[in-house]
């Protein structure tokens, strides 16, 4: 009970003490303190308002309160933005219960400090220089400028413009159009230093209007055309001409294939025409380019077009066919004319004259586009010196025979005419005009490295020459695969000595079109063929067993023709009534035990009938004339042996009869 009373007493004392302190606090107020420090009650109230305000507007009103009686002459020079920034800073401190001001003098000192700081940084900001372009300044702006965003590593600048469409905040300038007035732009540098003071510096700039009327906007294609028409040196013109935007077909006349030297030369002529105003538009330039390209190609062709001569020939001595090019290096077409087609045809085929040589003029006409060039070549075709063989007519036995032996062309003497040959890989070709062989008097001699052919002109029927211009004889060593195929059909008793050779004879018209192939020769004529052999080819070979064979395409077998070997001249000679595939064979020994002998049926011999004369050739399957076989046993006559056998048979029969009787 006593403890309870003590507690109530202590609680009453605490309450009394708190009430006393509250009373004292109310007595010792800022007003009363200000009275003690010389601050009036109104100033004390104004200070209290300033120290408790947090909104910028309330802070500005408190700072500018005339009851504070402070000097705000410097403060009044501030912009509203700067005043608001100062008020914002004071309000922020008040919100943190950091009461800054204990007297009006403290407020004045703080404001003046702030004003001085702003003034100092304003001077620094004014030193920032705008970097104008060449010949520009603040009163004469024609082009974009550079605006710094940092000064002295302290002041950070943000630019604003009252006419950003004329001068942007990054310094890009767009001038007023031609005929419009100049524009005055207020460009302001806004800076906040490290302490947080807002500073501005405004510059007045005059942007000049355009001095010339605006040029119409051109397309990339028109720009490329202008580059061509305004070119002033060859290198510029070349780049402009080859611009893919123009879509000029530079391959049309082989411009792309020309050498750099040729291109430069033709572009010099083109540039001269452009600068001389001879060409007024791009189409005329393209036409002139094609013209000069063709002209350049023709000029090159006249310098480098050459006739191809056979080995050993030259323009002073032509004995073989000529190679007449039909195209130049850069694509010009070439056609040929001859003032003597009887000696040299327009395709280069040469027909040597009999006797004296002949000078022939060949004219080459080169054409590219509309450009044409001509060039004359003079070649000397060497004459053929022939040996004539007089023919002595036989004495006619009667008037009819005498009439048949008369020569309709008594001035024509049979001769051996040697033809020129050309080699094409494994082929050797020779040609002769049909007109030269129609009389059928001469023999054509065709000689290559290993083969010599003697061909009577009568091998061709004269009535089959209609529409033909020349005859062509070809000798070809067959490719290995074709020869292997043919040799697979060889009988076992022969072997090839050397390669298989194919001979052909063909008639062509004047346009080199094939008229027909000649396989069988006319008038019972044969062609004599002499083939040269080497020591290596006949080594360990019995030359007496050499023979020529041809391949029968119908029966698919090799047929023997014969022939002879001349050891002294190392040649093999044979004659043939037709052309096909041929090969020299050597007969080899075979194993007779494995061969099947055919025994003729003498009781009923086979009769062979034929209605045509067989050629003088013998097939591998021929049946030879029966020969008498040599005696290979004893000298006893076969009849004696037969009689003795009969006697022995009779005696044997008697002995058997007697033995049965005895039993």
Element (DSSP H or E) covering residue 21 = helix 2-27
Taking Cα atoms as reference points, which of 221, 246, 222, 241 lies closest to residue 231? 241
Q: Is the pLDDT of residue 13 over 90?
A: no
Average pLDDT value for residue range 59-74: 85
Instruction: For 77-130, give the DSSP string.
Output: GS-HHHHHHHHHHHHHHHHTT----SSHHHHHHHHHHHHHHHHHHHHHHHT---
Alpha-carbon distance values, 448 to 445, 458, 529 (Å)? 10, 22, 11
Q: What is the mean pLDDT of the chain?
A: 80
Q: Residue 317: which pLDDT band, with cuts at 50, 70 and 90?
A: very high
All residues at 6 or more sequence positions from 573 whose CB lies less than 8 Å from its CB, including other chains: 528, 529, 530, 531, 563, 564, 566
Write phi, then psi, for 7 (nearest 5 degrees). Answer: -65, -40
- Which 3 state secondary structure label does DSSP give 559? strand
Contacts 24+ apart (CB under 8 A), 624-630: 626/600
In the prediction, which pLDDT does 140 show?
94
Q: Is the pLDDT of residue 308 over 90?
A: yes
All residues at 6 or more sequence positions from 288 whose CB lies less than 8 Å from its CB, including other chains: 270, 273, 279
> What's CA 138's distance to the chain center, in Å?
61
Element (DSSP H or E) covering residue 401 = helix 399-404
- For the chain, the C-alpha Rg in angstroms (whole number) is 64
N-term to C-term CA, the chain:
189
Angle between helices 220-229 and 282-304 (to 10 degrees): 50
Q: Residue 92: which pLDDT band, with cuts at 50, 70 and 90?
A: confident
Q: Is the pLDDT of residue 288 over 80?
A: yes
Structure tokens given for 568: 């002294």
Express each pLDDT in 240-283 by its tens digit. Answer: 999 999 899 888 788 888 889 999 999 999 999 999 889 989 99
Contact between residue 433 and residue 469 where contact means Cβ atoms under 8 Å apart: yes
Distance CA 480, CA 352 (A): 35
Distance CA 582, CA 584 (A): 7
Structure tokens given for 214: 């605006």
Contact between residue 481 and residue 490 where contact means Cβ atoms under 8 Å apart: no
Express each pLDDT in 505-560 by its tens digit. Answer: 998 988 888 888 888 888 889 999 999 999 888 888 888 889 999 999 888 889 99
Q: Residue 386: which pLDDT band, with cuts at 50, 70 and 90?
A: low
Express each pLDDT in 106-163 by its tens digit. Answer: 888 888 888 888 778 778 888 888 999 988 999 999 999 999 887 776 678 889 999 9
């Amino acid at each position: 009970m006593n403890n309870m009373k003590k507690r109530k007493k202590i609680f009453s004392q605490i309450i009394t003490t708190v009430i006393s302190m509250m009373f004292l606090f109310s007595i010792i107020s800022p007003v009363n303190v200000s009275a003690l420090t010389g601050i009036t009650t109104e100033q004390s109230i104004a200070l209290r308002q300033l120290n408790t305000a947090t909104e910028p507007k309330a802070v500005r009103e408190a700072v500018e309160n005339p009851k504070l009686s402070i000097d705000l002459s410097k403060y009044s020079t501030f912009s509203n933005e700067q005043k608001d920034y100062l008020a914002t800073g004071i309000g922020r401190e008040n919100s943190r219960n950091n009461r800054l001001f204990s007297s009006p003098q403290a407020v004045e000192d703080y404001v003046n400090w702030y004003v001085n700081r702003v003034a100092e940084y304003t001077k620094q900001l004014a030193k920032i220089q705008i970097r104008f372009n060449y010949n520009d300044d603040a009163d004469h702006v024609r082009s974009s400028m550079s605006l710094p965003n940092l000064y002295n590593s302290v002041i950070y600048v943000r630019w604003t413009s009252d006419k950003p469409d004329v001068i942007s905040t990054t310094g890009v300038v767009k001038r007023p159009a031609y005929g419009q007035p100049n524009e005055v732009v207020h460009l302001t540098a806004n800076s906040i230093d490290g302490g947080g003071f807002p500073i501005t510096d405004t510059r007045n700039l005059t942007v000049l209007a355009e001095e010339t009327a605006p040029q119409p906007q051109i397309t990339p294609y028109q720009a490329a055309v202008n580059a061509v028409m305004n070119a002033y040196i060859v290198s510029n013109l070349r780049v402009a001409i080859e611009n893919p935007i123009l879509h000029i077909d530079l391959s049309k006349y082989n411009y792309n294939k020309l050498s750099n030297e040729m291109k430069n030369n033709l572009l010099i002529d083109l540039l001269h025409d452009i600068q001389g105003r001879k060409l007024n538009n791009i189409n005329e330039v393209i036409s002139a380019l094609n013209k000069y390209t063709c002209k350049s190609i023709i000029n090159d062709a006249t310098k480098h077009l050459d006739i191809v001569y056979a080995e050993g020939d030259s323009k002073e001595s032509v004995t073989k066919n000529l190679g007449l090019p039909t195209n130049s290096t850069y694509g010009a077409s070439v056609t040929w004319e001859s003032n003597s087609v009887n000696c040299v045809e327009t395709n280069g085929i040469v027909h040597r004259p009999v006797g004296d040589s002949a000078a022939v003029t060949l004219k080459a006409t080169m054409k590219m586009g509309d450009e044409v060039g001509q060039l004359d070549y003079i070649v000397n075709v060497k004459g053929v010196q022939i040996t004539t063989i007089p023919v002595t007519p036989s004495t006619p036995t009667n008037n009819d025979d005498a009439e048949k032996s008369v020569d309709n062309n008594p001035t024509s003497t049979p001769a051996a005419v040697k033809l020129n040959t050309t080699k094409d890989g494994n082929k050797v070709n020779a040609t002769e005009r049909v007109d030269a062989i129609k009389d059928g008097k001469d023999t054509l001699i065709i000689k290559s490295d290993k083969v010599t052919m003697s061909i009577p002109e009568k091998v061709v029927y004269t009535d089959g020459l209609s529409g033909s211009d020349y005859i062509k004889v070809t000798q070809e060593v067959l490719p290995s695969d074709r020869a292997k195929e043919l040799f697979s059909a060889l009988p076992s008793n022969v072997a090839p000595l050397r390669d298989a050779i194919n001979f052909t004879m063909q008639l062509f018209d004047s346009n080199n079109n094939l008229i027909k192939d000649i396989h069988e020769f006319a008038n019972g004529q044969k062609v004599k063929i002499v083939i040269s052999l080497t020591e290596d080819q006949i080594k360990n070979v019995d030359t007496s067993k050499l023979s020529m064979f041809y391949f029968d395409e119908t029966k698919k077998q090799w047929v023997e023709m014969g022939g002879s070997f001349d050891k002294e001249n190392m040649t093999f000679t044979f004659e043939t009534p037709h052309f096909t595939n041929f090969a020299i064979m050597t007969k080899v020994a075979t194993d007779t035990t494995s061969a099947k002998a055919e025994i003729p049926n003498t009781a009923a011999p086979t009769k062979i009938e034929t209605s045509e004369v067989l050629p003088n050739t013998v097939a591998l399957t021929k049946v030879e004339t029966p020969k008498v076989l040599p005696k290979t046993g004893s000298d006893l006559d076969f009849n004696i042996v037969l009689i003795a056998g009969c006697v022995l048979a009779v005696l044997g029969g008697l002995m058997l009869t007697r033995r049965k009787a005895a039993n």
